[in-house]
Each structure stands twice: as structure tokens, then as C-alpha cells.
Amino acid sequence: MRRTLVLLAVAAAVAVPIAAVPAADAAPVLVLGADGHVRTREDPYLPPAAPLPAPAPVDAVPRARAAAAGPSVPAELRRLQAAGTLDPATAAGYHDAYVAARDTLRRLHGYRRTQLAAVLGQVRAAAAGGRFIPSRLPALFLTLQRNRAWWAAAPIPAPGRRMTFQGSRIVWQHYPGQGLQIQWLGTFGKANALWRSGDHDPDLRRLLDEALGLATQRAGGIAFEYQFTFDGGRPPWVSGLAQGTALSALSRAAVRLSAPAYFDAARSALGIFRTPPPQGVRVDTPAGAHYLQYSYAPSQRIVNGFTQALNGLHDFAALANDDEGRALFASGEAELRTELPAFDTGAWSLYSRAATGGGGMESDLGYHELLRDFLRGLCDRLTADARRAASVGGTEASPAPDPAPYCQTATRFTDDLRTPPVLAIAPQRLRQKGSGAIRFTVDKVSWVTITIRRGSTVVLQRTARLGRGRHRIGFRPAKAGPHTITLRAVDLAGNAATATGALSVAPAAAKRRRAP
């Protein structure tokens, strides 16, 4: 199942007191200084990263063949310069960065070589695939330069570790097999935290200006692209979750800093929300529109990313008083209102479902809390809208959407964090030395231990992480007689429950004698 590149960056509601918004805890970040030394710093404005599995390393052979089949990096830079879309000095700078990375690669070995080779491969594949457009090159070549600087001398970071570089406010993350990549969600999560602090406006401005310099023209506007392969999605791809978080940061900064240019940037960033995949994230539905977590996965529905995309659209629409923003929000909100009940199991939340419905993957603890917090944000926004509408006597063109579904679901998800799992096991019957199974159910994802005893003797004990639903554990009893089954489940929030059941083991069937 696909996993979102998720950081716990929760945007505040426009008209909600700051205290109502979860505060960012200090998070460790590695900083590569101009002197080449790496220092660890606790960043109070960088929300903690979710514990995500790294994407699987990409097979370099097909990528190398694809790059060899198309234009080279130098050839594409020459083409853009000849066309007048890239000035000679900029083209020369990109060429020098490419040559320097290639030369550094020859001196590296082992893990360091693998990471820098992957990023070089990404640049070559972009050139060969016709993806060299002027607006994409700043992020692409900055990624190459940062990776060259890091892998040439800096310590090898743990998978998923985040870092930044002296003089820069962009957040990067280590993805094994993909090198260091811009973490847009972390970057804009930090921007929102700086806005919440109220006393770091110069840092907020510098961060947003730096980020906008790395935006790419896409879907009729700008987008913050990911330039690496993730879970089968080929670059460049975009995320409704990250772009929605960017909308909040840009819109808030436009007001706080009296900088309408940030509204213009946010308005341009609406493009992916009006455009279908793979360029955008909009999937039209009978109720309205779903905004995708990943532009490369149109059939997957990830509710935390969808909810946060709506929070960002709401912030922009409200702060910029923008009609298109309101329309995009309204289409998505109507769809989320339809989808949300299917993500509430009654005991826990689902992380994702297929567009066709059915099944679904349960959230881990971080995603469950993240979804709860995003829903709280949407609840607070719509509650504020309703109060504002009531205060003006209902003269608005259309009534504010009812916040109750989002408020109530967020409350249930909070209750889930304190509610033990429910286990059920019925009396069962097996035969001695015969293959069989113990059947039971659990209502939420949990670590489940099954213990089978004959008298005081433990004859089987196993522990596994199991999702909600029916399960069976194979068991071949060695002896007949009464057995006791004990189940102990501990959910992801640490709540525990037990259940017991009886197992009757009949004597082995007597062997039939063969006729003489």
C-alpha cells in the first residue's frame, strides 16, 4: 500500500485562536555548515516527522537505459540556451554543477556512491525524458548540488533523517536509494509554525521566497514537485497534501506580512486542484471532487491528505476572498462529507481505500492522530464560518457547510485512542493430531498474542500485528482433552484487552484395520 510522505504539520483555522492549534514540538535536524561540518540542532518550528518507511531503492539499470535513449544533460542545456529560454550564465552554472557531481561520484564508494548516483540518474532521466523545462531546473540542480555536498564528506544519516544547509530554510529528507530530497510538506509545515509563533516574520518571508524560487510551472500554475520515485510513482509528481499546506502558509503570510504577492502565488498554486492526474490531483465525482494525495495514484483515496488539502483551500479562499478558491473548497468538501464515514471503522480510522470502495488499510498511530488533527482543523474552520454567517444575519450567498460530521468524527477518533480493542472467540473443537485453526475476531489493528494451554502447560504462543476482522491461527494439537485459549490484544495506542475461550480436542480417530 502507498504511504504518504507525511510530517505532522497541522495548519490552524483562519479564525481560530492560536491555542486551539497543536503546537509544533522541537524536532532534531542536521545542518551542514559552510565549513563542511554537520551539527545537530533542535528546531522548535519543524514539526516531528512521522515514522515512515523509506521508499524501495530504484533499479538503476532500467533508469540508466532510459537516460541513454534520450538527450544528455549537456545537450538539453544547450537546446534551452539556443531557444532563448535559458540564459548562458544559468546554463553554464547548471552544466558546472552536473560535471562537479559526476567528478565527485568517481571518488565515492559504497553507500555514498549509490545515493549520489541515484540523484545523478534522476537528472539524466529528466533530460532524456523531455522534462527539462526552465522552471523545473532550479529544484533539480539544487538537489544535485546538495547531494554532492553531503555525500562527499558529511556523515551518512539514518533513513528518514531530515537536514538543512547553512543559509537555507528548505527542509530535506534522506530516502535510501534516492539520496536527499526536498521535503515540501516539512518545509511548509515549518512555515506554518513560524507564522503561529508570531515573532519570526523575517524567517517566514525568507523561507517562502526560497520555496517559491523552486516552484515549477505545472497544470496552468505553479506546483511544488517531488523529483524522485516513490512507491511506484515516477517523478515529477505532486501531492494535494503538500500543496494544501503551502496554500495555508502563503495565504497567512500574505496577510501577516502585507505581501499580496503571496496571494498571487497561492492563486497560481490552485492549478493542480482544477486539473486531473497526472498533471494535477483533481478527480471529479458525483458529489464534487476528490483531491489526491499522489498525482500518480488516481485510484487511491487517502483521507488525511484530502482533508488537509481542503484546509489549505479554505484558508486561501477566506483570507484572499477568492471565488475560485471557494468553489474548489466547496467541491472537495461535498465529496469528503460523502467519503468520510467509510474511513471510520467504529473503532479506528482507515488510512486509505480504493476508489471502488471496499477493504481499506487501517491507519498506524501517527496517521490516526494526524487525521484526527486535520479533521479538528476543518471542524474549527467551518464552525467559525457558521458563527460568522449567523452574526451577519444569514445574508451570505450560501449557508456555511455543517461542521458536525468533522467535529464528531474527530471526537470519535480521540475516543478510539482510549478505548481497548474488542476480541471475540467462540468455543472451538479440533481433533488430536489433526490440522486445524483457532478462529477469532478483533475490531481494530492491534498486537495480538494467542496462548493455548492444556492444563497449566503452554502448548502454543504466538504474537502478531493483526488488522481488524476475522483471523485464524493454525494449530495441530498433540493431545486430546480440554484446552484454554487466551487472547491478549494491545492496540497501537497501548490499550489492552483479553478474551478467553474453550477448545475441546477430541481423541485421534482410530485407524481402520485392513482386511486380511
What local confidence, expressed as pLDDT, does residue 62 receive? Answer: 45
pLDDT mean over 225-242: 93
- Mean pLDDT in residue range 20-42: 73
The one-character DSSP state at 152 is H
Place of cell 479562499: 317
Residue 27: its pLDDT value, please? Answer: 76
**Residue 307: enclosing H or E segment and its boundaries?**
helix 303-320
pLDDT for 53 equals 43
Please state, in angstroms and rounded to a whole number, the distance separating the CA atoms of residues 97 and 116: 13
Residue 398's pLDDT is what?
67
Give the C-alpha separation, 85 to 190, whole Å.
33
Can you tell me which residue has the cell 483555522? 13
449 by Cβ neighbours in 10 Å (0-12 / 13-18 / 19+) ranks as middle
The residue count for the chain: 516
Please, which residues bridge with residue 486 across strands? Answer: 451, 500
Segment among 31-35, 164-168, 236-240, 331-335 with least mean pLDDT: 31-35
**What pLDDT was estimated at residue 49?**
67
CA gyration radius, the chain? 27
**Model pLDDT for residues 410-455, shown as the tens digit of each residue:** 999 999 999 999 999 988 999 999 999 999 999 999 999 999 999 9
Task: Report pTM.
Answer: 0.89
CA distance 355 to 339: 10
pLDDT at position 18, please?
26
Grade residue 43 by pLDDT with cuts at 50, 70 and 90.
Answer: confident
Identify how many contiguous H helices and E strands the chain contains and give both numbers.
14, 20
The dihedral region occupied by 401, where left means phi > 0, alpha psi between -120 and 50, and beta the remainder, is beta
Give the up-direction half-sphere exposure of residue 504: CA atoms within 13 A in the CB hemisphere.
Answer: 5
The one-letter amino acid at 72: S
Q: Residue with C-alpha cell 522552471?
A: 135
| Per-residue confidence (pLDDT) for residue 65, from 0 to 100 | 55
CA angle 466/467/473 to nearest 5° reads 40
CB 35 within 8 A of CB 272: no
Question: pLDDT-derived band of residue 356, with 50, 70 and 90 as boundaries?
Answer: confident
Which is more confidently placed, 27 or 178? 178
CA distance 97 to 77: 12
Q: Which of 83-87, 108-112, 462-466, 506-510 has the lowest mean pLDDT?
A: 506-510
Asked if pLDDT for residue 218 goes beyond 60, the answer is yes
Query: Which cell is 391 given?
Result: 452574526
Q: For residue 513, how far is the Cα from the chain centroid?
A: 65
466 beta partners: 446
- Res. 96: pLDDT tops 70: yes
Total Cβ atoms within 10 A of residue 65:
10
DSSP 382: H
Going by pLDDT thresholds of 50, 70 and 90, the confidence category of residue 51 is very low
Least confident residue range of 28-37, 82-91, 212-221? 28-37
Asked if 319 and 416 count as a contact pair (C-beta separation under 8 A), the reply is no
DSSP character at residue 473: E
Confidence of residue 45 (pLDDT cuts 50, 70, 90): confident
Residues 6+ apart with CB under 8 A from 258: none
pLDDT tens digits, 123-166? 999 999 999 999 999 999 999 999 999 999 999 999 999 999 99
pLDDT band, very low/low/confident/very high, at 12 (cuts 50, 70, 90):
very low
DSSP letters of 177-209? TTEEEE-HHHHHHHHHHHHHHSS-HHHHHHHHH
* Confidence bin at 25 (pLDDT 50/70/90): low
Question: Looking at residue 392, what is its pLDDT?
Answer: 77
**Nearest partner of 188 among 272, 253, 140, 260, judged by Cα:** 253
What are the pLDDT digits (tens) for 97-107?
A: 999 999 999 99
Spatial distance between the Cα atoms of 347 and 413, rounded to a whole number of angstroms: 8
Q: How confident is the model at residue 393 (pLDDT cuts 50, 70, 90)?
A: low
How far, in Å, CA of 38 to CA of 48, rounded? 20
- The residues, any chain, with a CB within 8 Å of residue 364's CB and separated by 6 or more, are 351, 445, 492
Chain segment 488-503, per-residue pLDDT in tens:
999 999 999 999 999 9
Q: What percent of the chain has pLDDT over 70?
A: 88
Listed residue (459, 329, 457) closest to 385, CA to CA: 329
Q: Would you place residue 334 in the very low, low, confident or very high pLDDT band (cuts 50, 70, 90)?
A: very high
Average pLDDT over residues 112-122: 97
Contact 252, 195 (CB under 8 A): yes
Average pLDDT over all residues of the chain: 89
Q: Are 96 and 44 in contact (CB under 8 A)?
A: no
Q: Is the pLDDT of residue 255 over 90?
A: yes
Please give the pLDDT value at position 67: 54
Measure CA 268 to chain center.
23
Please say if the pLDDT value at position 2 is more than 50.
no
With bands split at pLDDT 50, 70 and 90, how would you rate the model's confidence at 515? low
Q: What is the mean pLDDT of residues 5-20?
A: 30
Segment 354-377 mean pLDDT: 92
Largest CA distance in the chain: 103
User: What pLDDT band is residue 514 in, cutting at 50, 70 and 90?
Assistant: low
67-76, 263-272, 342-351, 466-475: the lowest-pLDDT one: 67-76
